[in-house]
Amino acid sequence: MGHRIALIPGDGIGPEVTDAAVRVITKVGVDIDWVVGDIGAGALEKRGTQLPEDVLDLIRETKVALKGPVTTPIGGGFQSANVLLRKALQLYASLRPVKNVPGITSCYTGVDLIVIRENTEGLYSGIEHEVVPGVVESLKIITRAASSRIARFAFDYAIRTGRKKITAVHKANIMKKSDGLFLECAREVAAKHPEIDYEEMIVDSACMQLVMKPHKFDVLLMENLYGDILSELCSGLVGGVAVVPGANIGDEIAVFEAVHGSAPDIGGKNVANPTGLILSSVMMLRHIGEAEAAGRIESALFSVLRRGETRTRDLGGTATTTEMTDAVIQALGEQ
């Protein structure tokens, strides 16, 4: 039986990279009924809201979505469609596997770590107000329920995938109550899983150690803001935001998307690197039980990157998004 999956093209380079992933999945022959729904700046312009209720309903129904990045204005304007989506669908776990990609040179080799980020609270509560002119307050919300939930997710994930160590990243020396509660919950879950090594690290030290010794790390567990920042730092260890995939996962629903944003500087120019989104679709295929197709796409993509003849500009080549996608499709045909 075919799969019914929501496709969210997004803004900027989103439509180009999601189109690349759909073309590759079509070539590999997985039977998917894509149902398109849009969110973000484009949706706001066309439909008056950045997160239309019918698109939320669509994802609730399909339970799986492949999503392009969306644009969020800086310093004002509308609220992030991503933050609203993750809260509305309780996609509480952001999962970003950071691994060297064959053929892509970076400062390190052998990096293989997982960033797990709490996706629904922290400073992303969106609760901000001006106390008096010139004084603004942003509220960081940390709850026992959400902190225990993400810690359980991290330990379950580590056990299921054969990982050995979890590092909880925090700033509980300063935010004693909020990050203190996050750590308390992580420790409670860790105590039930002595088979996984558990350690804690202050976020500033974690940044330094990630850059100096990324191989020390296995699974990183953290609240929302640290996870946002550190997952991009980690992407830099293996070649940047364009080559790292991701997923936002809840108890029933999963939305797959790359780490990168909508890249307005190159949107619509057909030069975006589709690697991150294609690798996100590989994660999605594994999630829906299409592991064989996932493996085929991954090895076709890696063979194109390893050969190095067809690379997008960010990887030092001259290929367009379409040309790189064509090369992956051709490599699939040669398998």
Beta-carbon contacts of residue 283 (< 8 Å; ≥ 6 apart): 97, 245, 246, 247, 256, 294
Q: Closest distance between ligand NAD and the C-beta of residue 184, in Å?
A: 30
Let me know if 320 is exposed, middle or buried by CB neighbors in 10 A (0-12, 13-18, 19+).
middle
Rule CB under 6 A: is residue 167 a binding residue for ligand NAD?
no
User: Can you tell me the distance from the alpha carbon of 138 to that of 300, in angstroms, rounded to the nearest whole number?
Assistant: 46
Rule CB under 6 A: is residue 72 a binding residue for ligand NAD?
yes
| 171 is a catalytic site residue | yes
Stretch that binds ligand NAD, among 134-142, 158-166, 188-196, 261-269 (CB under 6 A): 261-269
Rank residues 272 and 293 by Cβ distance to ligand NAD and give the closer one: 272
Whether the CB-CB separation of 156 and 251 falls below 8 Å is answered with no
38, 171, 226, 314: which one is catalytic? 171
User: Can you tell me the distance from the alpha carbon of 297 to that of 35, in angstroms, rounded to the nearest whole number?
Assistant: 22
Taking CB positions, which residue lies at the least distance from ligand NAD? 261
Rule CB under 6 A: is residue 51 a binding residue for ligand NAD?
no
Q: Which residue in 37, 52, 69, 250 binds ligand NAD (CB under 6 A)?
A: 69
Residue type for 200, please? E
| 204 is a catalytic site residue | yes
Whether the CB-CB separation of 237 and 210 falls below 8 Å is answered with yes
Q: Which residue in 5, 6, 7, 13 binds ligand NAD (CB under 6 A)?
A: 13
User: Can you tell me the distance from the alpha carbon of 69 to that of 210, in angstroms, rounded to the nearest whole number?
Assistant: 26
Stretch that binds ligand NAD, among 95-103, 176-184, 257-265, 298-306 (CB under 6 A): 257-265
Whether the CB-CB separation of 100 and 43 falls below 8 Å is answered with no
Beta-carbon contacts of residue 52 (< 8 Å; ≥ 6 apart): 37, 38, 39, 43
Q: How many residues bind ligand NAD (CB under 6 A)?
A: 21
Whether the CB-CB separation of 258 and 235 falls below 8 Å is answered with no
124, 157, 198, 226: which one is catalytic? 124
Nearest to 124 by CA among 54, 225, 55: 225
| 228 is a catalytic site residue | yes
Stretch that binds ligand NAD, among 147-155, 176-184, 268-276, 327-335 (CB under 6 A): 268-276
| 124 is a catalytic site residue | yes
Question: Interaction with ligand NAD in 275-334: which residues (CB under 6 A)?
Answer: 276, 314
Q: Which residue in 18, 94, 273, 325 binds ligand NAD (CB under 6 A)?
A: 273
19, 38, 228, 314: which one is catalytic? 228
Q: Which residue in 263, 279, 294, 327 binds ligand NAD (CB under 6 A)?
A: 263
Q: Closest distance between ligand NAD and the C-beta of residue 256, in Å?
A: 11
Q: Which residue has the tokens 């590092």?
A: 167
Q: Closest distance between ligand NAD and the C-beta of residue 263, in Å?
A: 4
Beta-carbon contacts of residue 197 (< 8 Å; ≥ 6 apart): 164, 165, 166
Stretch that binds ligand NAD, among 69-77, 108-116, 186-194, 283-291 (CB under 6 A): 69-77
Rule CB under 6 A: is residue 181 a binding residue for ligand NAD?
no
Rule CB under 6 A: is residue 27 a binding residue for ligand NAD?
no
Are β-strands 112-118 and 93-99 bridged in parallel, bridged antiparallel, or unpaired?
antiparallel
User: Can you tell me the distance from the alpha carbon of 37 to that of 31, in angstroms, rounded to the nearest whole number?
Assistant: 19
Rule CB under 6 A: is residue 262 a binding residue for ligand NAD?
yes
Let me know if 174 is exposed, middle or buried by CB neighbors in 10 A (0-12, 13-18, 19+).
exposed
Q: Closest distance between ligand NAD and the C-beta of residue 274, in Å?
A: 7
Q: Which residues bind ligand NAD (CB under 6 A)?
A: 13, 17, 69-72, 82, 241-242, 257, 260-266, 272-273, 276, 314
Active-site residue set: 124, 171, 204, 228
